[in-house]
Structure 1
Amino acid sequence: MVAFRRRRFADLPDWPAADHTLALAAFRRGAGQFLSNAVRTGTLGIDAAAFRAAAEASLAAQPGDGTAQSFFEQHFVPLQIVPDTVAGPDGEHGFVTGYYEPVVDASPVETPDFRFPLYAPPPELVKVDDVSRPPGMDPSFRFARRKACGLLEEHPDRAAIEAGLLRGRGLEIAWLADPVEAFFIHIQGSARLRMTDGSQLRVGFAAKSGHPFTAIGRLLVDSGELTLAEADMDGIRAWLAAHPDRQRALFDRNRSFIFFREAAVDDPALGPVGAAQVPLTALASIAVDRELATFGVPYFIAASQLAIDGRPFRRLMVAQDTGSAILGPARADIYVGSGLEAGKIAGRIRHAADFTVLVPAALAESLAR
């Protein structure tokens, strides 16, 4: 269960410094989705149709003219999200992690140096829902494999695919030099590839095998290989480098396998296109639970123990992506940016946070207690 508690903007810690300009730019990028009725309302009941007026007004606003804060204050009411769970040590009811866009070298063809492929979805992989999902298949599966007879079954998992199940079918988008980099691209869901011919290519999430995601950091903690403090991205990478003979077995325990689609690098300053079908904005876009949340909605996130740029994290952000491990009403993955430095920051984000969603006044009346 979840409740919405009405708040004032003055109640939000450091609200005047929440980087409204960046958030308004991100919100505007998704405005067209609201206006074309392309946004699905999540099960929390944050009605997408209620955002049409704010979306239209955002297209007339200029994010850099000093009016961004007043735009949000004029068009929205803050509602704190209060899940029916125990709050964190500072009263925070949610949790944030971070993700980024890896930037790696790649080849369009397999070579002795580039041997680890990223795959496009096979044609027999199909989406399923509660109506089309076969009896007995786990309700969490959103993809299945269509057999030659037309019946659906679970798609083979990571271990089978990595063992060569799809080789030779022309599904390879690009080849990487390092299996660790390939695995982390699967975790992040996108990457920017520096091709050997000098061009650049983006790959983004297209589909998955359907199997549940398993965090290898959690596996290493549970087995005593790493402490919880050590199980950030740097710690996991260090463990993998020290145990090359155990990498594959560990990777295969995450049965989920990601398939990608190609995209041009139209604007290197922006991130990849997220699940909301708009480019992500570093430190202004978040990934949310796609079943509960509504894409395009602004969130004020306050994490008292998370420091980025030397001060506590208190920023206004927009829900524009999703992820397999992002489950719950007060749960988000913060998009940090592209490249190695962004990855180092993202890999250390594992913090309790307070979530406040910004909704139009009429909607606030129906949601808040």
Structure 2
Amino acid sequence: MTRAMLTASQWTIACAGCLLLGGLPLALSQPAPAPSEAPPDRPSPVLPKPTNTAKPLLPSAPFPKKSQLLGDFSTRDDRRTLLTAVDHSLRYLQTERAIAGYRQSRVSGISRERVYQSLKRFRQLLLTQPSAAALQAAIEREFVVYQAAGNDGQGTVAFTGYFEPVYTASRLPTVEFRYPLFRVPPNLASWSKPHPTRLQLEGADGLQRHSRLKGLELVWLRDRLEAFLIQVQGSARLQLTDGSVMTVGHAGTTDYPYTGIGRELVKAGKFKLEDLTLPRLLQYLADNPADRDVYLPRNNRFVFFRPTGGAAATGSIGVPVTAERSIATDKTKFPPGAIALIQTQIPYVNAAGQLENRVVRRYVLDQDTGGAIKGAGRVDLFMGTGKLAGDRAGLINATGQLYYLLLK
């Protein structure tokens, strides 16, 4: 990227916990990884030390006030997007992947069949209840909600946002496009451990090539940070210089944990932790480009990609994710594909054209996960594709509550 300053929309995983502190998200725009393949990491904000929440779901809880929920059904588009996400989960729940997923899940008392029947009934209510009030009343009458225990055992959940970025790239290296994404090495599984570090694979400036990477270049980006951010995100939609579009998704990683740039800058005394925000980090990297070569190599985890044929952004359960309707959680704690209710803050464009946070209560589907989304206190909300989605995702960094709905 050659711009003088990066904006929040140019972050692949726009959230305060990602490059700031650690994490990398789902494999968007790709077939979901096989069960044995570690998913990309996800953002991990600063949270209280987890308590021993052996039961991730607390006993049944009351619904939030009905009046607070009616806004989620206020437009035809609200119902349409929710119906789309529900249909994707219903499709998943009828697959062998779902059978295997629930066999691995440790969510006591919540079976795949119960989740499936709950979604079927929820869908029927969406199609038949004429008003928002009637729909919410029917949901409260027929469903019970279970609250996520949260990171503190008391229901406090940390929310972040992620999105599918759009970048310009070239199929061939040029003077302008010099920083590649790489295909997965065919012999990656046989690499001896420890794997080569990021510094060894691409050099301090990102322009070197370890012998194991030569010939595996997939596309080239303008800027090293841009290529790095795609690795953080695990996917991207690329507008190629020849006029075509390519989508790429996560195909494999080296065997290292993710290290957040922001945390490294805090350790180096460049920021105080309480002062670290995405805009400040972005501005710092724009003003101090040489520091990219110092701090980017500290993340040893290296991500490989594959073309995904223009596929829609896809979550870990193998179905497309829907903007503001799909969440990522720890699938060992929560039921894959299930319908949930979130209460948190999400930014929206106000009358002045500025983004401002609003308290929201939305029904969502649990359709994704990530390597750093661990425990009962983390939720990542998918915000969509492109600039505005990135701007909004970059401002989501709040606590809230998470509930799951099941038929009584």
Q: Which residue of 2 aligns with 1:29?
A: 88
Residue 39 (structure 2) pairs with residue 5 (structure 1) = no
Residue 88 (structure 2) pairs with residue 47 (structure 1) = no
Residue 304 (structure 2) pairs with residue 237 (structure 1) = no
| Structure 2 counterparts to residues 292-311 of structure 1, below 5 A | 292-303=333-344, 306-309=346-349, 310=356, 311=358
| Structure 2 counterparts to residues 23-172 of structure 1, below 5 A | 23-39=82-98, 40-41=101-102, 42-45=105-108, 46-56=110-120, 69=135, 76-83=143-150, 85=152, 93-126=156-189, 146-147=190-191, 153-163=193-203, 164-165=209-210, 169-172=214-217
The answer to whether the 8 A contact 2:347-2:396 is kept is no
Structure with bigger strand share is 1
The answer to whether the 8 A contact 1:192-1:200 is kept is yes
Q: 1:36, CA displacement in angstroms?
A: 1.8
Partner Cα distance (2:119, 2:382) in 1: 22
Give the direction of change, closer, same or farther, for the CA distance of 1:272–1:259 in structure 2 (3 Å limit).
same
Q: 1:168, CA displacement in angstroms?
A: 5.5
Residue 398 (structure 2) pairs with residue 335 (structure 1) = no
The answer to whether the 8 A contact 1:121-1:171 is kept is yes
Partner Cα distance (2:86, 2:228) in 1: 31
Q: 1:7, CA displacement in angstroms?
A: 2.1
| Structure 2 counterparts to residues 267-282 of structure 1, below 5 A | 272-282=313-323
Residue 408 (structure 2) pairs with residue 344 (structure 1) = no
Partner Cα distance (2:366, 2:211) in 1: 34
The answer to whether the 8 A contact 1:118-1:182 is kept is yes
Residue 16 (structure 2) pairs with residue 16 (structure 1) = no
Amino acid at match of 2:322: T
Give the direction of change, closer, same or farther, for the CA distance of 1:58–1:161 in structure 2 (3 Å limit).
farther
Q: 1:26, CA displacement in angstroms?
A: 0.9
Q: 1:244, CA displacement in angstroms?
A: 1.1
Partner Cα distance (1:38, 1:49) in 2: 14
* Normalised TM-score (structure 1): 0.79
Q: 1:197, CA displacement in angstroms?
A: 1.0
Of 189, 213, 235, which aligns to 1:190? 235
Q: Secondary structure at the match of 1:275?
A: coil
The answer to whether the 8 A contact 1:125-1:155 is kept is no
* Normalised TM-score (structure 2): 0.72
Q: Secondary structure at the match of 1:299?
A: strand
Partner Cα distance (1:174, 1:8) in 2: 51
Report how many aligned residue pairs link the two structures: 329
Q: Secondary structure at the match of 1:9?
A: coil
Give the direction of change, closer, same or farther, for the CA distance of 1:200–1:245 in structure 2 (3 Å limit).
same
The answer to whether the 8 A contact 1:287-1:333 is kept is yes
Q: Which residue of 2 aligns with 1:136?
A: none
The answer to whether the 8 A contact 1:120-1:173 is kept is yes
Which structure 1 residue ranges, 5 or more long, are not aligned?
127-145, 362-369
Question: Aligned-residue CA RMSD in angstroms?
Answer: 2.9
Query: Which has the larger displacement, 165-174 or 319-328?
Result: 165-174
The answer to whether the 8 A contact 1:218-1:231 is kept is no
Partner Cα distance (1:86, 1:293) in 2: 15
